[in-house]
Homo-oligomer: A and B are copies of this chain.
Amino acid sequence: MDKLPRNERISVLQRILCESPGRVFTLGYFTEMFNCAKSSVSEDIDIIRSSLEKTGAGTIETISGASGGVRYVPLMSGDALLKLAGRLSAELSKKERILPGGYLYMLDAIYDPGTVSEVSKAFAGYFHDKPVDYVITVETKGIPLAFMTAAYLSKPLVIARHNIEATDGASVNINYVSGSLERIQTMVLPMRSLKRGSWLLFIDDFMKGGGTLKGILELAREFDCQVTGAGVLIETYMPERKLPVECFSLLTLYGVDGAAGITDIRPSQRLMAKER
């Protein structure tokens, strides 16, 4: 590549770091790409780090050692988190979203790239300093959130399915009780999908009884894996759950009054309680 002026180099660097958040790049990768000195790339990185920190968008971490380098860690300020939770509460409590049975229609929100990207950034920021080797979800509605969280953490995504597929190879099945739909379901995961001894981060759109998470915990045991925690967009206020892992939710659903057309959904207590 022809030598770029510093302005353009910063633009390219920021784009590459942004398009692979969490991925470690050696400085050598960039000095070769730009055909410039290590000190120049270091200064560029300092400028990018400063711009990220001033805008509360995260930071650039420097990893030392043989496999060292730099990586973009996207974070969300406490303010941005509250603003996001407030905006989503308002959106999801709209009267026209209430379905028969007290369910909420929210597919448009949980499949919308902008919303998914922001919520996933909140999940990734919350768990970024915890051990995560894989992000895991159960098909279908949580997949976009789980995928983007995996992308922000630069970790592979694993999807448990409800039925065995010919394209899976040998697989492990467990049965679990789905809390939100109150029925027994099957969870299947291909044998090849997880390395033994890994840490899993469970991501989903909705948590009621915690049955799906309990299924994931059981599945993890079968693979000699451990679960770091769970990130969900919405948890219900009731029932009380005793979960053996940390659960981070953005919103809490207190109730849906179908007759009155009122949905009580609010930013989760944890967000209100502390600055992150």
Bitwise interface map of A from 9 to 47 toward B, beta carbon under 8 Å scored 1, else 0: 111101100111001000000000000000000000001
Q: Does A113 contact B (CB under 8 A)?
A: yes
Known: A117-B151, A143-B140, A147-B147. A8 touches B51 (CB 8 A): yes
- Measured as residues with beta carbon below 8 angstroms from the partner, the interface class of chain A is 35 or more
Known: A4-B51, A8-B54, A105-B192. A157 touches B117 (CB 8 A): no
Integer count of this chain's copies in the complex: 2
Chain B binder among A80-88, A125-133, A158-166, A244-252: A158-166
Known: A1-B54, A7-B47, A51-B4. A166 touches B181 (CB 8 A): yes
Q: Does A239 contact B (CB under 8 A)?
A: no
Contact A99 B8 (CB under 8 A): no
Q: Which residues of B contact A9 (CB under 8 A)?
A: 51
Known: A104-B167, A111-B156, A147-B143. A18 touches B23 (CB 8 A): no
Complex Cα–Cα for A143 and B158 (A): 12
Instruction: List residues of A whose CB falls within 8 A of some B CB.
Output: 1-2, 4, 6-12, 14-15, 18-20, 23, 47-48, 50-52, 54-55, 57, 99-101, 103-108, 111-114, 116-117, 139-141, 143-144, 147-148, 150-151, 154-159, 161, 165-169, 181, 190, 192-193
